[in-house]
C-alpha cells in the first residue's frame, strides 16, 4: 500500500472508515476542532449526528450498537466534553456494549500543566473501559484506532477510550492502515475444553428438570438459532434476563418469560426447583438471583460464558464451559439425546395461571379507573404487530416495557441493564433508529427519565428521525415511590414530580404530540402516533400510584415474590 502524508485528524477519519464506521455521535469543542475540520471533507462517507449533550452521544452510540451489532462511535472534546461521557462509558461496560469514545485533548506539551479544559481522561476512564489509550503522536493514530475496534468488538464487547492530543491531530503522518486481528496479551475467544462440553451434556442428559437461563451473551455471540436448536432437541424450558430478551421470540414455545426482581413467576420459582440450571451468557446479577444463600441450591449448575471472570464469581458452578456461545452451544447440542419433557414443562402452567389471575389481567385488561402502564405498553406492542424495537428509560416504565412488550426478532430490546441509567432512553432511541432505520422504534419513558436528557429532542428535530416516544406520566419518580410505599411506610420523600407540559415542549421542537387520559382515546392516539410520518410524542397520563408486580424484595429469595397489594 502506498503511503500518503496527511494530518492526524484525516488519518483518524480514514481509519474509522477502514473499520466500517458510517455514523458518529458527537459534539465539537476547542480541542477537537481539527478533527471536525477534516470531517467537513468526509460528509459523504461519515454521517455525524450532532447531539445536545455528550452523555447523549454515548447513549446514542450504545443504542446504535445494540440494534446493529456494530461498534458505536462517539467524538467529543477535552475536559467537560470528555467527563460528560463517563456515565455512558460505565453503562457500556456493565452491559457489554461495543463502543469507541474519541476525545480531544490539549497539546502534549501542555499535559500535566492544568491547561484550559485539561483533564486526566485515561486515569478517569481506565476502571470503566476495556482499554484506554492516550495518543500523543500522529504516527500512533491508525494503530490505536485498529486496536481500539478490535478490543471493543471481540470477546466480551465493551467500551474503549482514545484520548487524542491536539498536536497529534494537526501533525503530518505517512498514513497506512493495517487491521489488527491479534494482540499477544489479549485472547478474546478462549480455547474450548472438550471434556467440559461432554460433562455439560452428560448432566443435561441425566436430568429430569433442566432449566436454561438466557443472557445477552447469546445475542452478542449471534447464537440465537443455535440456542433454539439446543432447547428443542432436549425440550428444555428457558427464562431470560432483561438484556437477553429477544434472543428468543416471545411466542417461542419453550420461552417461559423473564427472570429477576420483576420477572415472571414461573421462571423465578423453577430456578429453585430444577435439578440442572444451564446459564448461557449471563452474569448472575443480584437482580436475577436475589438472596444467593437460597438461590438454586438444589441444582447442578452449568455456566457457559466467554468471560472467565464471570464464572463462579457470584454462584458456584459444577461445570464451567468457557467460550463463545455460538460455538459451545452446538457442541453440547450434538451430544444431547432427543427428549420430550411434557411433565416438566407442564409444571410452569400453574405459575403462569396464578400470575395471569393476580397480576397480568389486572394490569393489561383493566375495565375501570385510570390508565395503567402495562395496558399502554401492551396496546402499543400489539399495534406494531409485536415487531418493533423496544427502547426504555429506567424505572417502572422499564420494567413494564420489558414485561409486556413482545418480540419477533433478535436485537429488539435496548435498555440500561447493569447501571440502570435514567436518561439513557431518549438518546438510545436516536441511536437505535439510525442503527435500524427500517424498523419501528418505540421508546417508553417516565416523566422523570425523559427530563434528564430531554434536550435530545433537538437531535431528533435536526435529524428528522421517526422515533415514537411514549411518556408514562404518573407525576412521580415511580420506582422509588414504589419502594417507599412497600418498605418505607409511604414516606414519599422527594419523589413527587411537578412536570412541565410535555406536549408543548414537543411542539417547540417541531415534534407532533398528544396527551391522553382515558382508555377510550388510547387506541386512536396510538394509531395516530404510529401512522404519523415522523417523530411523535404521546403522553399517557397513567395512574399515580401504579405498581410493578411481581416483585422480589431486594435481597430476598426469588421464590418470595409479592404478587399484589395485601
C-alpha–C-alpha distance, residues 65 and 226, integer Å: 22
For the chain, first and last CA: distance in Å? 73
Which of 215, 186, 267, 236 lies closest to 413 in space, CA to CA? 215
C-alpha–C-alpha distance, residues 98 and 167, integer Å: 28
Q: Rounded to the nearest 5 degrees, what angle is found at the Cα of 17, between the Cα atoms of 14 and 21?
A: 145
- The DSSP element (H or E) to which 9 belongs, if any, is helix 8-18
HSE at residue 304, side-chain half, CA atoms within 13 A, is 31
Using CA atoms of 562, 420, 418, 231 in order, give the dihedral in degrees to the nearest 10.
60
C-alpha–C-alpha distance, residues 289 and 183, integer Å: 35
How many helices (H) does the chain have, and how many strands (E)? 25, 20
C-alpha–C-alpha distance, residues 260 and 284, integer Å: 10
Contacts for 563 with CB less than 8 Å, ≥ 6 apart: 265, 354, 355, 358, 359, 549, 550
212: cell is 436454561
Sign of CA dihedral 551, 245, 56, 463: negative
20 exposed, middle or buried (CB, 10 Å; 0-12, 13-18, 19+)?
exposed
* Beta strand ranges found along 350-416 (DSSP E): 389-392, 413-414
**172-175 and 4-7 beta bridge pairing:** antiparallel
Residues noted as catalytic:
54, 116-117, 166, 479
C-alpha–C-alpha distance, residues 538 and 529, integer Å: 7
Amino acid at each position: 500500500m502506498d503511503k500518503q502524508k496527511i494530518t492526524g485528524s484525516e488519518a483518524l477519519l480514514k481509519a474509522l472508515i477502514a473499520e466500517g464506521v458510517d455514523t458518529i455521535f458527537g459534539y465539537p469543542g476547542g480541542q477537537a476542532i481539527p478533527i471536525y475540520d477534516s470531517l467537513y471533507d468526509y460528509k459523504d462517507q461519515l454521517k455525524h449526528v450532532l447531539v445536545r449533550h455528550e452523555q447523549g452521544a454515548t447513549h446514542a452510540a450504545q443504542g446504535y450498537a445494540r440494534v446493529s451489532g456494530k461498534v458505536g462511535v462517539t467524538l467529543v472534546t477535552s475536559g467537560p466534553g470528555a467527563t460528560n461521557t463517563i456515565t455512558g462509558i460505565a453503562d457500556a461496560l456493565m452491559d457489554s456494549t461495543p463502543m469507541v469514545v474519541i476525545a480531544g485533548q490539549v497539546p502534549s506539551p501542555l499535559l500535566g500543566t492544568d491547561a484550559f479544559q485539561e483533564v486526566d481522561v485515561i486515569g478517569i476512564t481506565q476502571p470503566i473501559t476495556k482499554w484506554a489509550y492516550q495518543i500523543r503522536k500522529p504516527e500512533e493514530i491508525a494503530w490505536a484506532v485498529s486496536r481500539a475496534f478490535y478490543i471493543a468488538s471481540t470477546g466480551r464487547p465493551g467500551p474503549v477510550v482514545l484520548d487524542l492530543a491536539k498536536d497529534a491531530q494537526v501533525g503530518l503522518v505517512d498514513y497506512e492502515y493495517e487491521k489488527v486481528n491479534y494482540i499477544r496479551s489479549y485472547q478474546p475467544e478462549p480455547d474450548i475444553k472438550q471434556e467440559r462440553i461432554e460433562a455439560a451434556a452428560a448432566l443435561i442428559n441425566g436430568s429430569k428438570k433442566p432449566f436454561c437461563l438466557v443472557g445477552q451473551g447469546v445475542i452478542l455471540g449471534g447464537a440465537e438459532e443455535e440456542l433454539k436448536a439446543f432447547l428443542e432437541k432436549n425440550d428444555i424450558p428457558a427464562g431470560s434476563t432483561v438484556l437477553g430478551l429477544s434472543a428468543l421470540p416471545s411466542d417461542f414455545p419453550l420461552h417461559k418469560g423473564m427472570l429477576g426482581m420483576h420477572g415472571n413467576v414461573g421462571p423465578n420459582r423453577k430456578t429453585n426447583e430444577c435439578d440442572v440450571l444451564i446459564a448461557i451468557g449471563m452474569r448472575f446479577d443480584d437482580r436475577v438471583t436475589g438472596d444467593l444463600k437460597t438461590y438454586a441450591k438444589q441444582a447442578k449448575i452449568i455456566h457457559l460464558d466467554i468471560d472467565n471472570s464471570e464464572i463462579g464469581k457470584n454462584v458456584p458452578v459444577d461445570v464451567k464451559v468457557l467460550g463463545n456461545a455460538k460455538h459451545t452451544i452446538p457442541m453440547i447440542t450434538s451430544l444431547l439425546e432427543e427428549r420430550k419433557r411434557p411433565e416438566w414443562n407442564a409444571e410452569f402452567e400453574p405459575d403462569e395461571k396464578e400470575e395471569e389471575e393476580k397480576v397480568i389481567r389486572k394490569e393489561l385488561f383493566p375495565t375501570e379507573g385510570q390508565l395503567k402502564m402495562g395496558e399502554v405498553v401492551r396496546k402499543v406492542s400489539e399495534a406494531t404487530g409485536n415487531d418493533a424495537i423496544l427502547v426504555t428509560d429506567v424505572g417502572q416504565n422499564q420494567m413494564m416495557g420489558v414485561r409486556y412488550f413482545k418480540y419477533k426478532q433478535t436485537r429488539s430490546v435496548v435498555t440500561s441493564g447493569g447501571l440502570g441509567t435514567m436518561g439513557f432512553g431518549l438518546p438510545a432511541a436516536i441511536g437505535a433508529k439510525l442503527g435500524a432505520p427500517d424498523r419501528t422504534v418505540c421508546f417508553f419513558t417516565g416523566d422523570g427519565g425523559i427530563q434528564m436528557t430531554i434536550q435530545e429532542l433537538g437531535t431528533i428535530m435536526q435529524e428528522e428521525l421517526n422515533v415514537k416516544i411514549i411518556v408514562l406520566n404518573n407525576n412521580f419518580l415511580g420506582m422509588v415511590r414504589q419502594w417507599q410505599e412497600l418498605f418505607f411506610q409511604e414516606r414519599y420523600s422527594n419523589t413527587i414530580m411537578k412536570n412541565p407540559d410535555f406536549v408543548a415542549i414537543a411542539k417547540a421542537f417541531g415534534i407532533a404530540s398528544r396527551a391522553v387520559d382515558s382508555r377510550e382515546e388510547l387506541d386512536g392516539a396510538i394509531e395516530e402516533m404510529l401512522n404519523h410520518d415522523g417523530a411523535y410524542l404521546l403522553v399517557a397520563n397513567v395512574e399515580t400510584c401504579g405498581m410493578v408486580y411481581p416483585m422480589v424484595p431486594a435481597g430476598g429469595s426469588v421464590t418470595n415474590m409479592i404478587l399484589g397489594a395485601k
